[in-house]
Amino acid sequence: MPTKNNTIYILYGSETGQSQNYANELSHLLRYHHHQTIVSTLDDFNLLSIIDIKYLIVICSTTGQGELPRNATQKFWKFMLKKKLPSILLNNLKFTTLGLGDSSYSQFNFAIRKIHARLLQLGAKELCGRAELDELFAGKGKESAFRIWCDEVVSSLNKHIGIKEAPIDSEILLEPEWIAQIDRGSTEVVTKGHELDVAVTRYTKAPNISHKSRTVSTDKKQNQTHHLLQVTENERLTSQEHFQDVRRLAMKNVSDSPLPPLQSYEPGDMLEIIPFNDPHDVELLLKCQPEWNEDADLPLKIVPNPKLYEKALPDSTIPTPNSLISTPNVKN
């Protein structure tokens, strides 16, 4: 029977969201097999509790040249590399891993190989072998490799935890993992003002977001790196039958300040797009849902569903909905 000690921690490191999707998909599958799961980024996980948990699944992509994604390097990987960690530290831990990579890179799936090797070095035991997905076989090949690995994970966990019941019928809806809460106590009106301010406020106020090279400022007099752009062209590049929807977007600068000259960009620079809803669409939606009017300007919080996590161990590892962009020291 699943108990709080048998909670399965699915921790992911993801640069562009694919590992996160796989982590959520695996969690979903395990929940239908009567397991209790917690999904979190590697960096959001409270590392002090790693000795208290019994089952760990790490899903991580490789980025850069054989590197770990940003949401796995600030805390998790720094901790794992500590020389002082004893080789019996994770003796009670059973784990497996899934890597996402692209074999056209010379350091194929290096990140997950490093993580897997380090977990073994620290005494953890394999639940089942590692799987490595290859972007070069995106589509059926990659998906079927994922399914095969998932089946191994489920049967291994069922055996260890002693789950004998048939899986829950897929027609039955499980409790949602996240719920939306309206912050009625808040005096802050988040949607007041210009659209750019709404987007930038959302960006700078989200907890723990930043990147070391990012200079974000809500003070318009400071080094302002955000601009209001309008999409002028939106063309699908992949055929309608192809599963991926890749688009070419053209945008026009409609903010007061000019965009930096092209020569100021360097290889490796990133562009982040923070979309917001067209106020006209928002008004239209509110007209259809007049009962929302009272709360429409109040902040909305997406929080873990307490019904699912009240039994989780330990308390501090309850996940946050933050995912790809959680690194400390936001520069306001």
Ligand X SMILES: Cc1cc2nc3c(=O)[nH]c(=O)nc-3n(C[C@H](O)[C@H](O)[C@H](O)COP(=O)(O)O)c2cc1C
If you count them, how many residues does the chain have?
332
Residue 42 or 163: which CB sits closer to ligand X?
Answer: 42
Of the candidates 305, 307, 310, 299, the one whose C-alpha atom is nearest the C-alpha of residue 321 is 305
Among 3, 16, 222, 329, binds ligand X (CB under 6 A): 16
Binding to ligand X by residue 41, rule CB under 6 A? Answer: no
Amino acid present at 316: S
Write down the H helix ranges in 187-240.
195-205
What whole-number distance in Å separates Cα of residue 171 and Cα of residue 29?
13
Binding to ligand X by residue 43, rule CB under 6 A? Answer: no
What whole-number distance in Å separates Cα of residue 242 and Cα of residue 245?
7
Instruction: Name residues contacting ligand X, limited to 204-243 (CB under 6 A).
Output: none
Residue 37 or 62: which CB sits closer to ligand X?
Answer: 62
Q: Contact letters (x/-) for ligand X, 117-146, by CB under 6 A?
A: ------------------x-----------
Binding to ligand X by residue 32, rule CB under 6 A? Answer: no
Quote the least distance from Cβ 270 to ligand X, whole Å: 10
Residue 146 or 309: which CB sits closer to ligand X?
Answer: 146
Residue 70 or 226: which CB sits closer to ligand X?
Answer: 70
Binding to ligand X by residue 25, rule CB under 6 A? Answer: no
| Piece of the chain touching ligand X by CB under 6 A; list 40-48, 85-93, 103-111, 276-284 | 103-111
b/e map 303-330, b = 16+ CB within 10 Å:
ebeeebbeebbeeebbbeebbbbbbeeb
Residue 267, preceding peptide bond in cis (omega within 30° of 0): no
| Piece of the chain touching ligand X by CB under 6 A; list 8-16, 116-124, 166-174, 304-312 | 8-16
Binding to ligand X by residue 15, rule CB under 6 A? Answer: yes
Burial-class residue 137 by CB neighbours within 10 Å (0-12, 13-18, 19+): middle
Of the candidates 13, 131, 12, 10, the one whose C-alpha atom is nearest the C-alpha of residue 64 is 13
Residue 105 or 137: which CB sits closer to ligand X?
Answer: 105
| Piece of the chain touching ligand X by CB under 6 A; list 58-66, 187-195, 257-265, 276-284 | 58-66
Quote the least distance from Cβ 71 to ligand X, whole Å: 9
What whole-number distance in Å separates Cα of residue 69 and Cα of residue 21?
15
What whole-number distance in Å separates Cα of residue 276 and Cα of residue 285?
14
Quote the least distance from Cβ 108 to ligand X, whole Å: 4
What whole-number distance in Å separates Cα of residue 161 and Cα of residue 315?
22
Among 25, 52, 102, 197, binds ligand X (CB under 6 A): 102
Residue 57 or 100: which CB sits closer to ligand X?
Answer: 100
Q: Which two tokens stand for residue 326?
A: 């959680």
Q: Output phi, psi for 253, to 5 deg.
A: -75, 120
Residue 9 or 12: which CB sits closer to ligand X?
Answer: 12
What whole-number distance in Å separates Cα of residue 199 and Cα of residue 279?
12
Instruction: Name residues contacting ligand X, limited to 293-322 (CB under 6 A).
Output: none
Is there a contact between 328 and 75 (Cβ–Cβ < 8 Å)?
A: no
Instruction: Name residues contacting ligand X, limited to 61-80 (CB under 6 A).
Output: 61-66, 69
Among 32, 79, 108, 137, binds ligand X (CB under 6 A): 108
Binding to ligand X by residue 326, rule CB under 6 A? Answer: no
Among 42, 100, 131, 163, binds ligand X (CB under 6 A): 100
User: Applying CB under 6 A, which residues contact ligand X?
Assistant: 14-19, 61-66, 69, 100-102, 105, 107-110, 135
